[in-house]
Structure formats: C-alpha cells, structure tokens
Structure 1
Amino acid sequence: MSLEEQIYIRKSCRKYLDDEIDMNIIHDFMKSAKPLDDDLKYHYEIFEKDEVKVRNRWSAPYYLALFCDKKEISKVNVGFVFQQLSLFLQSHGIGSCWDGLDSVKGKKPVILIAFGKSNEMTREISSFKRKSLDKISDFEDERLRPAQLAPSAINLQPWYFRHADEVFDVYQVRQNVLKRKIVKKWNPIDVGIALAHMYVANEEKFEFYIKSDFDKLDGYIYIGSIKI
C-alpha cells in the first residue's frame, strides 16, 4: 500500500511485538523525507526500551527521540517530517505512536515516537473519532480529509484551514489556559502531522510558504500556507 493509503487505516499503536528491526530502513527513508523548509534543522536518535524512562501504561521496544530548536515552525517541521516516517514504517508492518510523556535520561528531545513490529496498527475508517470537516476549516472541503484523520495530542486536532484564493492558510488553535498548560508544547507538532498528511496525499503539487500579509483570526495562530 502507498503512504497515502496508510492515512486512512493508521492507528496509534500501543501493542508491540519484541521482533528486532533493521534500523537501516529508517536511516534510508530519512534521506528522502521532505522538510517544510530546507533551512529548518532537526535530528533524531534511536533508543531501546531499557534506555527510556517510561511513564505510559504501555511501552514499545524502540523509541525515536526527535530534536530541533524551540521555534514553533521548527516543531511544526518535526511533525511534518516524522509523520512521513510513521506512515512509511506502517507500510512495512511497523507500528508507531507519538509519545510526549516518556523521556530519555540526559537528553531533551521535543518529543518521542514509540515504534516496533505490531499486529495491531490499522483500523477501519469508521472508527476514527475526528472533528467534522467544517470544524477544521471555514467550510467543508473533501480535499482536507487527510488532515482530518491526522493524530494529535489528546485528540485535540488543533489545526484550522482557511481558504484564500488558490491556497489554504493554516492556523493553530489557541487553547484555553488549562489545555494550554497540558498540550501547548505539542500543538505545533500536531499541526505538522496534519500537514504531512496533506503533503503525502498531494505530493506532486504540495507547496508550503509563510505569508507576510495574512489575515489574523481571533483564537488562532497563523502557521503558514499550503498550495495543493
């Protein structure tokens, strides 16, 4: 199955097998993963379970620790790049789950991705619990279905698309004080994950750029614009 097809069956995986994985599959894919901007720097390291402080009720045999600077757009880029990897891994029988709770001693990644071989990493599209298309955009648009199905921290889906001529202006929802305290650091990554789905579904046409003159919307933070 193609990476685009994985979008419609993907499930955040929390049950793993202990099978070993040849990490070259990751290193090779990352050579061709597309960033939002070539100037945005990031890197990753791979750890095994015994090297990770696990706070979740579940664990995986392997973890990707993802690193970048503290700029919001850099975190968006991390979500964008590594959701491509997540879909690729799934296409090879390797499940994954974005993991903001666990940590690696002596390291300060922006987030982890748990991963490993699994028999429980897909689902029917009817089981997705997501906002309707008209709740993530100024009006319902089937072209946004890939973004609608993207995973996010506590399933908040903090992205909003506004039609602007031939492009979509992309915004991040400003959370209330309580939610902001819990998920603020992960929301830019979530938006990047949604953008990754839009890229994978529109690989030949996808463009991302940042406008100097964008419309300010109450309750939203402008992230950038995409053309598909």
Structure 2
Amino acid sequence: MNLEEQIYIRKSCRNYSDGAVDMDLIHKFMESAKSLNNEINCYWEILTRDKVAVRNSWSAPYYLAIYSEKKDNYLTNIGFIFQQLCLCLQSMGIGSCWVGLDVPKRKNSEFVIAIAFGMSRDISRDLSEFKRKELSEISDFEDEKLIPAQLAPSAINSQPWYFKHSNVGFDVYQIKHNILKRQILKRWNPIDVGIALAHMYVANKHSFEFEIKDNENIKGYSYIGSIKI
C-alpha cells in the first residue's frame, strides 16, 4: 500500500454506495498510525449511518467518530493521525470525508470530529483538478517539497498552513483569520494543519520528526511546531 501516491489523487468523497467495508483492515492500520504526541489519549469508534445525526445534505454508510483528551495541540494531533487513515482508505478504494457537522447521536464530552466513509467510485481526481494556493503563498519561498502539504484538504478549503524554512526543515504556522472566519474555523483549522503535516509525514516517512520549540508567532500566523524532513 503506497499512501504517498494517494496524496496526488485523493478527493473528499460525498457520493457513496452501500458496499461492505472490511473493518478489520481499518483496525489493523490504526495499530501502526503515527501520532504527533503519544501522551495525548485519543480513541475512535465506527458507527453506521443510523447512529449519527447527519446535518449535511448527503450521508455515508459509515462514520468514524473520533475522541480525544483536551490537551495542547490535541486537534492538530487528530488531523495528523486520522488523515493517515483517510489515505489508507483511499488506497483500498474507499472514499472518505472529514465532517464537522455530523455527530454521534450518543456522544460524550471527548468527541471531536467525525470522518464519513464508504465504498465509492468517486474517490480520485487528476492533479489539475486541485484548487489550492500557490506554493509561494504557503511558505516564505516556493519549495516543491511542500506539494504534499499544498494538496491537503481543509475546512471550506481555507488552507490555513504556512511553512517557514529552517536549517533542517520547516517551522509550521497557522493563519490568524479575521473575526468572522475565526468564528467558523477556529475549531477546524488546527485539525487542518495536522492533516497537512500528515501529508508531509507520509511523503517523508523515514526522516520526518516533529517538535515544539520556543518559537514566537510571526505577523498573521501562530506557531504550531517544527518539522524535520
């Protein structure tokens, strides 16, 4: 299974069939998924459509409900871990989509977000179909090493990540939105940054390292962490 290849073709899926999914493969993959912070306890469960309060105009046969302790960077950690799963699902012909509105009908206080998934024929696209910011807009200077992050999905395609070159990789920042956008995206954008970091990890699996340094924010952006690739 080559997850890196999936970065360049994946699309968020909103069109599903009711075909069966091998849930054992999901459980097996999650045993090896990498975390940004092993000290944050997060867990998940698979729900069928009838167990979910669906608030979108479309639905999927299955949902992965994600739960986590509310510690520093827990949202970024969730995006990082579970985007790896989305790429894995894609490689098996299974579509997926992060959903911020749909919630378990019976949830606890640690619920964070869900991922809709299921069999689908509408799970891939050509590279030319991606609508993303230019590399020069997400970094201090254009660098093709950042293409995996550039192609990452995000809430309403806000693409809130920014990468500043360092001696060994990049310092990673999240955009500071205006008041209106903050009200809509403040919960989801840290997850989005984690998703972009997952793409950087998958594309640089043998060298990727993440740490949080004593870095200051820069104008218009908040510091999230630093990566070595």
TM-score band w.r.t. shorter chain: over 0.9
- Give the SS at the match of 1:47: strand
CA distance in 1, matches of 2:48, 2:39: 30
Corresponding residue number in structure 2 for 1:221: 222
CA distance in 2, matches of 1:227, 1:166: 5
Instruction: Indicate the RMSD between aligned Cα atoms, in angstroms.
Output: 1.0
CA deviations on 1:123-176 (whole Å, 9 max, x unpaired) are 000000000001000000000000000000000000000012222000011111
The 5-angstrom pairing of residues 162-173 of structure 1 reads: 162-173=164-175
CA distance in 1, matches of 2:32, 2:68: 18
- Give the SS at the match of 2:34: coil
- Give the SS at the match of 1:116: strand
Superposed structure 1 runs of 4+ greater than 2 Å apart: 69-72
Distance change (3 Å), C-alpha of 1:58 and 1:149: same
The 5-angstrom pairing of residues 8-27 of structure 1 reads: 8-27=8-27
CA distance in 2, matches of 1:128, 1:72: 32
**Is the contact between residue 133 and residue 150 of structure 2 (CA under 8 Å) also seen in structure 1?**
yes
- For these two proteins, the number of residue pairs brought into alignment is 227
**Is the contact between residue 159 and residue 192 of structure 2 (CA under 8 Å) also seen in structure 1?**
yes
With 185-194 and 36-45 compared, the bigger mean Cα shift is at: 36-45
Which stretches in structure 1 are left out of the alignment for 5+ residues?
A: none
1:40 lines up with 2:52 in the alignment: no
Q: Percent identity?
A: 63
**Is the contact between residue 206 and residue 226 of structure 1 (CA under 8 Å) also seen in structure 2?**
yes
Corresponding residue number in structure 1 for 2:160: 158
CA distance in 2, matches of 1:33, 1:90: 15
TM-score (norm 1): 0.97
TM-score (norm 2): 0.97
- Give the SS at the match of 1:195: helix
1:102 lines up with 2:102 in the alignment: yes
Corresponding residue number in structure 1 for 2:50: 50
CA deviations on 1:153-210 (whole Å, 9 max, x unpaired) are 0000000000122220000111111111111100110000000000000000000001
Give the letter aligned to residue 20 of structure 1. Answer: A
The 5-angstrom pairing of residues 53-202 of structure 1 reads: 53-108=53-108, 109-202=111-204
**Is the contact between residue 72 and residue 188 of structure 1 (CA under 8 Å) also seen in structure 2?**
no
Distance change (3 Å), C-alpha of 1:151 and 1:79: same
CA distance in 1, matches of 2:41, 2:76: 12
